[in-house]
Structure 1
Amino acid sequence: MDDFSTLISALEKNISSSTDKKLSYLRSDLHKAIDNLYTQVESVMWLNKRLSLKAQLPPLRGWPVSPDFLLKLHTWIRKNKPKIIVETGSGSSTLVIADALRQNGFGKLYSFEHLEKYANQTYETLADEHLTPWVELRVGSLEVWEGPHLNPTGADPISKWYPLNLAGIEGVDLLLVDGPPGNTCQYARYPAVPAFIDRLSPNAQVWMDDANRQDEKDVCEHWAENYGFNLEFFPLEKGLGLLTRK
């Protein structure tokens, strides 16, 4: 850690002594990167203290949900004790949600996944952690979506979403939107609220991961305007759009 601090100090001195605007930008980016790294490491440490898992979580870099998001998610579930949760896109968030429900002693997660490979990986980890009673995985290839969408009619690629296998899902207290992938179509995550709007509980919240991206911001703003939500964005690593009932 001392060597790392020394290196950072040396870089800052070199950058500070330069009048080159590009180096000034580099200095700013360096500070942001260090601050974010610290936040994510700190979040992982606190998250591990709160989880009751025997093994470690899957890698949390790249595409998976970031540690700061997972920490906020686990904390919210433990505090607010939702009965029914739905997520689109399975993975590390599935394990964190299931762990929080188990600690609460009640609740159910319905997790929608379109790729059998990832669903099997998630189920195997859930089984290893004895978390399967808390989760129902609903797996199926993406299908053509014919409901409301921001993706223009006739767009290429066409609008797709998870199979509408919603039987038995009522009174959803938390809808976590982290799929399908952005390259599925433009505004790929839009169908989540139209699909579940009549199945949300009166005090339900909708969480959008990756809300730093413009597509996800646009989707959140459209949901808020058209479905009667208050909207707040949180500056997590990848962004969180949080919608609550008015």
Structure 2
Amino acid sequence: MFALLTPALLAAVLLLCLWTLRKVRLIHLLAHEVRDQAASAPATLFRQLEAYDGLQRELRLDRSLPPTRGWAGSPDFLLELARHVQAAQPQVVVECSSGASTIVLARCLQLQGTGQVYSLEHDPVYAAQTRAELARHGLSQWAQVIEAPLRMHQLAGEHWPWYAAERLPAGLAIDLLVIDGPPQATGTQARYPAGPLLFPQLASGAAVFLDDAARRDEQAILRRWREEFPSLRQSLLACEKGCARLRNDHCARPAPQETRTDAILAPAD
């Protein structure tokens, strides 16, 4: 009987050894990743402090910006937006999700003396906070925070929870589109609907900025947009969380047929 068990025991010991080696390998890789992150953290922080200082100087702000950590746009991303607005001088700016970017964009339009920001926000609490920040900076007339709860959109046979974009003023020709929402927690490729729902409204020469472009979901979204909107030239900018810039040299494809539903979803965290 012992002879019969020996092969099984040997196989079990071998499997245990292989499992242990795999775990040791994973721990080794994790230790290297932690070491690399620790080594790069000071440089990353310094870059963000540089960008924040540059943002304050270029915008000549008398008051501090809202927090730029966590879900908020990082200083380097906000600085890219500010420099684009200074160079391109857009008249109609639409953004998906409000916050520090709303303040930056509104201030840029104030400095150029013309233009309007329309910010879609699904969370009433964040909408109120952004409006309060705009008032604190004296920028209320340069930006409208539009409460646009998430509702189900049917696009290309799929259902997507996304902003009630029909609350935007009709007939907008968008010069700059900033996409930093909805949150990833609302669903897979949560920001994809911005393409079929808003790209057809892009003016000739318009630009689109997608935050968090280093994430897998955003990379998948960019691939889909590349196939569906070949006239938009994509490029990546060196930002903390990744940033993709799309340029509209020609008009995008016609707006897709969307099956309207009236289901409104509760705000997601």
Q: TM-score normalized by structure 2?
A: 0.77
TM-aligned CA deviation for residue 26 of structure 1 = 4.9
- Give yes or no for contact 2:189–2:218 (8 Å, CA) kept in 1: yes
- Corresponding residue of 1:196: 198
Q: Secondary structure at the match of 2:154?
A: coil
C-alpha contact 2:93 2:118 (8 A) present in aligned 1: yes
Deviation at 1:166, TM superposition (A): 3.0
* Aligned counterpart, 2:7: none
Task: Identify the structure with bigger relative contact order (alpha carbons < 8 Å, sequence gap 6+).
Answer: 2
1:1-246 to 2 correspondence within 5 Å? 26-148=34-156, 153=158, 159-163=160-164, 164-228=166-230, 229-246=232-249
Q: Which amino acid aligns with 1:175?
A: L
The residue type paired with residue 55 of structure 1 is: R
Give the CA deviation at 1:180.
0.5
- The residue type paired with residue 162 of structure 2 is W
Shift of 1:31: 2.8
Number of residue pairs aligned between Structure 1 and Structure 2: 220
CA-CA distance at 1:24 after TM superposition: 5.8
- Relative to structure 1, the CA distance from residue 49 to residue 238 in structure 2 (aligned partners, 3 Å threshold; closer, same or farther) is same
SS in 1 for 2:60: coil
Q: State the Cα distance separating 1:27 from its structure 2 match.
A: 4.6
CA distance in 2, matches of 1:83, 1:39: 30
Instruction: Kindly provide the amino acid, as one letter, of the partner of residue 178 in structure 1.
Output: D
RMSD: 1.8
CA contact (8 A) 1:209 1:239 kept: yes
Aligned-partner Cα distance in 1 for 2:88–2:152: 35
Q: Please say which structure displays the higher CA radius of gyration.
A: 2
Give, in whole Å, the separation in 1 of the partners of 2:78 and 2:208. 15
**Partner residue, 1:6:** none
Kindly provide the amino acid, as one letter, of the partner of residue 131 in structure 1: L
CA–CA distance in 2 between the matches of 1:235 and 1:127? 32
Listed one character per residue, the Cα deviations across residues 55-94 of structure 1 (whole Å, up to 9, x for unaligned) are 2111111111000001111111011101111000000000
Question: Normalising by the residue count of structure 1, what TM-score does the alignment of the two structures yield?
Answer: 0.84
Listed as ranges, the gaps of 5+ residues in structure 2 are 1-27, 250-269
Identical columns (%): 35
